Amino acid sequence: MAQRGGQVQRRDVLRGIGGGALAAALGSMGLRPGRVVGQEQREAGAGKGPLYTPCTKPAKVTLIKGNDRREIVFATLKNIEDEVMASIGRKKRILVKPNFVSTTRPLAASHVDEVRGILDFFKPRFQGEIVIGESAAGRGGTFEGYQNFGYLPLEKEYGVKLVDLNAQPWVYRYVFGKDHNPIPIRIISTFLDRDTYIVSAAKMKTHDRAITTLALKNVLIGAPLNDGKRNDKGLTHQAYNFTPKETLHFNMFHLAQEIWPDLGIIDGFEAMEGNGPVSGTPVDAKVALASLDSLALDIVATKIMGFDPMKVPYVQPMIDAGMGQGDPAKMQVVGTPVEQCQFKFKANEKIVEAFGLG
């Protein structure tokens, strides 16, 4: 496959490379051609019934309520310390991926003290490289967000590196367009790198197309490239009709077969309700959550916000595909009791009727 500057050339993609050749090519590039989640289901199910079977492994979600953002984020990870460190295995680096859907509105972005809580946990325990990397959606660029939100001191404080993922190499994948035709989309290679442990440092917010935006959406829609000339993140949305039938939901499911956080963390210390993910209003929920199962994590967080997670269109397909635990009976929530962290967030006004949230 011809490449230039780490980029797969469009003409080579459009030739229609076969799956085996593609897998071999990705292997030589150090990329992971497919997620581990679901692999056993695909192999076991071949010719024997369903292609996928639901995840049977119990999921532990840690939930902490408190008066200091940095401390409660750290505490969520401390509660699952052994599991987290075992899950890193031989990974060479950790990528902490915050959410800068806006680089000028602090309430819409991952707070720097959420990242400090994460680094407080990992720095004494992990000897490899730790990178803070974002692929901001706005025209101002990722480093505008680092500047505006107080991230720049982290390099000296913790010896970590701040990276603009939009300046990294990328490869082509496909998503579905307006007429349901596959269209090429540029995916930042870091999200496919099998040597990188991906930590989703998300913000608890409402959303105008997916009800909530949490750990999964932070990574799945963070993966497409925005090089300042063209923002491929928009290719995942397409319809913009604010209904459960929007293409975004299928494209998230589609991308999730290769792109997935190894660890999800949600900062709800000062969350957002109403017209999120950018223009909502604050909620002093004062909670933080974490889990190695980001699907279970998002389900629990959505319930805490007062919404039915089954109304989020991509959740049930992900459960059915065995991408994570979807059975509440198999979700163990540790830390602060859930009943002490129940809220009724206002939904984005654009989707209340279409999603039945009234």
Secondary structure class of 203 (helix, strand, coil): strand
pLDDT computed for residue 12 by the predictor? 32
Secondary structure class of 237 (helix, strand, coil): coil
Instruction: Let me know: does 285 contact 222? Beta carbons within 8 Å.
Output: no
pLDDT digits (tens, 9 = 90+) for 213-241: 999 999 999 999 999 999 999 999 887 67
Q: Does residue 160 sit within a domain? A: yes
Instruction: Let me know: does 278 contact 205? Beta carbons within 8 Å.
Output: no
Q: Does residue 14 sit within a domain? A: no
Q: Does residue 43 sit within a domain? A: no
Q: Does residue 33 sit within a domain? A: no
Query: Could you give the percent of the chain with pLDDT greater than 90?
Result: 80
Q: Residue 355's closest CA among 218, 206, 234?
A: 206
Q: Does residue 234 sit within a domain? A: yes
Structure tokens at 70: 């940095």
**238 against 43, higher pLDDT:** 238
* Mean pLDDT lowest among 230-244, 259-273, 291-305: 230-244
pLDDT computed for residue 42 by the predictor? 40
Question: Domain total for the chain?
Answer: 1
Cα–Cα distance measured from residue 308 to residue 331, given in angstroms and rounded to the nearest whole number: 16
pLDDT computed for residue 7 by the predictor? 35
Q: Does residue 335 sit within a domain? A: yes
Range of the domain at 62: 53-340
Q: Does residue 42 sit within a domain? A: no
Q: Does residue 7 sit within a domain? A: no
Cα–Cα distance measured from residue 337 to residue 287, given in angstroms and rounded to the nearest whole number: 11
Cα–Cα distance measured from residue 189 to residue 205, given in angstroms and rounded to the nearest whole number: 27
Read out DSSP for 68-89? -HHHHHHHHHHTTHHHHHHHHT
pLDDT digits (tens, 9 = 90+) for 135-149: 999 889 999 999 999
pLDDT computed for residue 47 by the predictor? 52
Q: For residue 285, give the CATH number of its domain.
A: 3.40.50.11440
pLDDT computed for residue 31 by the predictor? 44
**Band of pLDDT at residue 57, cut at 50, 70 and 90:** very high
Secondary structure class of 178 (helix, strand, coil): coil
Residues 31, 292, 231: CA angle, nearest 5 degrees: 50
Structure tokens at 265: 């963390």
Which amino acid appears at position 316 of this protein?
Q
Checking if the pLDDT of 5 tops 80, the result is: no
Cα–Cα distance measured from residue 126 to residue 233, given in angstroms and rounded to the nearest whole number: 32
Instruction: Let me know: does 275 contact 351? Beta carbons within 8 Å.
Output: no
Checking if the pLDDT of 40 tops 50, the result is: no
Report the pLDDT averaged over residues 190-202.
98
Strand partners, 335: 63
Outline where the chain has alpha helix (H). Answer: 10-13, 19-28, 39-45, 69-78, 81-88, 112-122, 142-148, 154-158, 215-220, 247-255, 294-304, 315-320
pLDDT digits (tens, 9 = 90+) for 247-256: 999 999 999 9
The pLDDT mean for the chain works out to: 88
Cα–Cα distance measured from residue 281 to residue 256, given in angstroms and rounded to the nearest whole number: 29
Read out DSSP for 272-325? EESSTTTS-EEE---EEEEES-HHHHHHHHHHHTT--GGGSTTHHHHHHTTSS-
Q: What share of the chain is helix, strand, coil (3-state, %, to 5)?
A: 35, 25, 45
